[in-house]
Amino acid sequence: MPKIGNIELPEFPLLLAPMEDVSDPPFRALCKEQGADVVYTEFISSEGLIRDAAKSVIKLDIYEKERPVGIQIFGAELDSMLQAVDIVEKSNPDIIDINFGCPVKKVVSKNAGAGILRDIPLMVKLTEEIVKRTHLPVTVKTRLGWDSDSIKIVEVAERLQDVGIQAIAIHGRTRVQMYKGFANWEPIAQVKNNPRMHIPVFGNGDVDTPEAAVKMRDEFGLDGAMIGRASIGNPWFFNQVKHFFKTGTHLASPTMEERVSAARRHLQMAIDWKGEKLGVFETRRHYTNYFKGIPHFKEYRMKMVTSDESADVFAAFDEVLEKFGDFQFA
Ligand SMILES: Cc1cc2nc3c(=O)[nH]c(=O)nc-3n(C[C@H](O)[C@H](O)[C@H](O)COP(=O)(O)O)c2cc1C
């Protein structure tokens, strides 16, 4: 069974990917309830943290019930990253994860995120110092390389392991690809097949069906799957995959009642955590997927995504249950 440091995981664990503006505590809690084995926070700027920027600091909040949880940080300045590690430790996460994969221009232009894939010695140095600084297990999330001509992930993963990381999650795209094309899991399998690798190697990118997860496990031999977009508005995805692993059959799609109940709890947790205004605003992006596939739904969706008061959103949920309660989801 794979382990991250002393954290014992089931066979082929499913990890909720870090996702900015998505993987917040309420969403992570829902995913955990629905079978995610490890959850990660959205990325947190080391520079923001050390300046005590409220937007960064609030991202450190974790609920006990979501453990094991990893807090993900990004940056390219050693000093800032080390200070950020000290701050993150105070939140008592189970794991510290370093983001070496974010492809966004404003991040890579500062050599952070996937930008560091152009400077492997710096990547290794930063990781080594972070590992030395903390008692927590450190993991890395990265991409295959900067572009298709510079895929050195086998060497990179080995060097990161040698400076002490406890697991690596690899998104099967390069920085240049951003989110285009398909994720290529072949180089990730090469990392796993390197006889010197002994830490878990998790695959990421396009695990959007239970069949894809089986493929990653059986054909590519990876140690677990990190799941991002397939879980947005669909926290049930983790248990759907696990059910498929066990039985080879598909778990029935959640009923309308289950969906409304999840949407309700999601909104309530978000309000409890970040207040009425932000809670209402930031939960909006999930509703489209919670209620995907219902015909003539626009009127209700609009109510959910334009109401500023939670009471109106909760009322819209009631209406939906009343009107579409028997709808059969595919
Ligand atoms: C909305 C969104 C936000 C993301 N934010 C982060 C982030 O904060 N940190 C990170 O390492 N990756 C981030 N990613 C990348 C995902 O973690 C993941 O690598 C990518 O979506 C591919 O996996 P998937 O095909 O399962 O979605 C983000 C992706 C999306 C769609």
Atom of ligand 1 nearest to the CA of 17: 17
pLDDT for the residue 191: 98
Q: How does pLDDT run along the chain (330 residues), one tens digit per residue?
A: 999 999 999 999 999 999 999 999 999 999 999 999 999 999 999 999 999 988 899 899 999 999 999 999 999 999 999 999 999 999 999 999 999 999 999 999 999 999 999 999 999 999 999 999 999 999 999 999 999 999 999 999 999 999 999 999 999 999 999 999 999 999 999 999 999 999 999 999 999 999 999 999 999 999 999 999 999 999 999 999 999 999 999 999 999 999 999 999 999 999 999 999 999 999 998 998 999 999 999 999 999 999 999 999 999 999 999 999 999 998
Is residue 16 located within the same domain as residue 49? yes
Q: What whole-number distance in Å separates Cα of residue 299 and Cα of residue 320?
A: 10
Protein residue with least CA distance to atom 23, ligand 1: 205
**Residue 299: exposed, middle, or buried by beta-carbon count in 10 A (0-12, 13-18, 19+)?**
exposed
Ligand 1 probe mutation, 20, 59, 177, most atoms within 8 A of CB: 20
Please name the residues in contact with 126: beta carbons below 8 A apart, sequence gap of 6 or more: 76, 78, 81, 98, 116
Q: What whole-number distance in Å separates Cα of residue 328 and Cα of residue 316?
A: 19
Output the CA 21–ligand 1 centroid distance in Å.
10
Protein residue with least CA distance to atom 14, ligand 1: 19
Is residue 210 located within the same domain as residue 300? no
| Predicted TM-score (pTM) of this structure | 0.97
Is residue 241 located within the same domain as residue 309? no
Through-space distance between the first and last CA atoms of the chain, rounded to whole angstroms: 34
Q: From the CB of 19, is ligand 1 less than 6 Å away?
A: yes
CATH number at residue 312: 1.10.1200
Question: Long-range contacts for 243-248 (Cβ within 8 Å, ≥24 apart)?
Answer: 243/210, 244/210, 244/211, 244/213, 244/214, 245/12, 245/210, 245/213, 245/214, 245/217
Q: What whole-number distance in Å separates Cα of residue 314 and Cα of residue 303?
A: 10
Q: What is the set of active-site residues? A: 102
Output the CA 17–ligand 1 centroid distance in Å.
6
Q: Which helix (H) or strand (E) holds 210?
A: helix 210-218
Protein residue with least CA distance to atom 22, ligand 1: 205
Show which of 225, 247, 269 is a domain's final residue: 247
Show which of 247, 272, 296 is a domain's final residue: 247
The binding site for FMN comprises 72, 141, 171, 228-229
Output the CA 226–ligand 1 centroid distance in Å.
10
The domain of 291 spans 256-324
**Residue 330 covered by a domain:** no
Q: Which amino acid does the sequence have at 198?
A: H
Please name the residues in contact with 180: beta carbons below 8 A apart, sequence gap of 6 or more: 173
Atom of ligand 1 nearest to the CA of 183: 25
Is residue 61 located within the same domain as residue 141? yes
Measure the CA angle with vertex 65, ends 64 and 71; round to 5°: 60
Is residue 136 located within the same domain as residue 212? yes
